Structure 1
Amino acid sequence: MEQLRDRAERIAATLPSASPEVLPTDIDPDSNRGLGYHLMLQFGFAPDQWPSLDALWQRESGWNQLAENASSGAYGIPQSLPGSKMAVIAPDWRTNPETQITWGLAYIAARYGNPDGAWAHSQRVGWY
């Protein structure tokens, strides 16, 4: 998992810095979605990646940090499998949406390059 985090950090360092943050009007800034948008920009993804990230995690968990897939055991906003993988970010992975979103963004960057890539894969095969 350390390799995933290191690779994600290297990728994030090469991305252009995001433009000033302007929250889309349909997002409550105090919600998990608002936090997700903010962290996505901090991670270095452009605002145009938001529709893909929002659609992906809306479908996966409804942005619910306590979401658990009864059949697979996938957990949290990004539906990490197993959920305990998110502990590389922080020990509060079970309940903290910031920990889950940060892990999910690192996973997306390392595996798919960006949220558009993750969403396209999810659309094609039904998971990411």
Structure 2
Amino acid sequence: MTRISVREFAVVSATAVTAVGSVVGVSSADSTPDEDTTPTAVGATLLEDIPVGRQARAQTASLGRQAEVQAVAADVSALKDAEATARKAAAEKAVAKKESARQAAEARKRAQEQEAAEGDTAANTTTLAAQSSYSTSQVQAMARQMVPSGQWQCFSNIVDHESSWNYRAVNASSGAYGLFQALPGSKMSSVGADWQTNPATQIKWGLNYMNGSYGSPCGAWSFWQANHWY
């Protein structure tokens, strides 16, 4: 079988393009094409150069080439769509991962806060068996069970300056009483009726007072250092 020459293939392809151009020319606003650019005459002249028996084969080859070009274009379009879908999925996955990490961090924070609150509650309910008197070391041991470790030194500093850990200390001029020199001392009854004799009751009251008025024992100690009272 005789092969179609490159020139014949080009002629048929040009003829097809010329034909398309003719149709577009008829549909355009200028319905009178220029004589110098009339595609039909050019196409006809070119086709006459190809033997009649080989024109059909050339046209078939041209159509096949056009189909290949269209297939490639379709593959490129599909690849672009796939890449866009993959990018979107990756972005959504990253957002979901970030949200999951945020929720996990919040859950850990809530658990820590709950654990700290439970620890404070347990500390505030810790007492020794009631007895007629308590040594300084016993009072300090009670306080260590009730005061958070990170606040202990500030708490201890205040008690050192106010009463030297004497839970029965009384200010002769003002009547302030106890470890924290509460004035009047009877305000500690809000925690327990045994406020005069039970250092645990006084410690509970003092810790509540520091937290409520200054946010923490260290907040209270900072104020004490600046004003020498709290």
Query: Would the TM-score normalized by the shorter structure come out above 0.5?
Result: yes
1:53 aligned to which of 155, 163, 174: 155
The residue aligned with 2:142 is 35
Alpha-carbon distance, 1:59 to partner: 0.8
Alpha-carbon distance, 1:16 to partner: 5.9
CA contact (8 A) 2:188 2:201 kept: yes
* Structure 1 residues 30 and 63: CA distance shift in structure 2, 3 A: closer
* Structure 1 residues 121 and 94: CA distance shift in structure 2, 3 A: same
Using the size of structure 1 for normalisation, the TM-score is: 0.73
CA shift digits 1:3-60 (9 cap, x unpaired): xxxxxxxxxxx68615xx9xxxxxx9951111111111xxxx3x12111111110110
Normalized per residue, the structure richer in helix is 2
CA contact (8 A) 2:136 2:165 kept: no
* Structure 1 residues 35 and 112: CA distance shift in structure 2, 3 A: same
The residue aligned with 1:78 is 180
Q: Unmatched 5+ residue regions in structure 2?
A: 1-112, 124-134
CA contact (8 A) 1:29 1:35 kept: no
Alpha-carbon distance, 1:69 to partner: 1.1
The amino acid that maps onto 1:70 is A
1:106 aligned to which of 191, 201, 208: 208
Q: Unmatched 5+ residue regions in structure 1?
A: 1-13, 22-27
Query: Relative to structure 2, which stretch is displaced further, 66-75 or 29-38?
Result: 29-38
Q: Partners of 1:127 and 1:16 in 2: how far apart?
A: 32
Aligned-residue CA RMSD in angstroms?
2.2
- Identical-pair percentage: 42
The amino acid that maps onto 2:143 is G
Q: Partners of 2:114 and 2:136 in 1: how far apart?
A: 24
The residue aligned with 1:25 is none
1:90 aligned to which of 192, 196, 202: 192
- Bigger-Rg structure (1/2): 2
Q: Partners of 2:136 and 2:186 in 1: how far apart?
A: 27
Q: Partners of 1:122 and 1:37 in 2: how far apart?
A: 21
**DSSP-derived class of the 1:66 partner:** coil
1:65 aligned to which of 144, 162, 167: 167
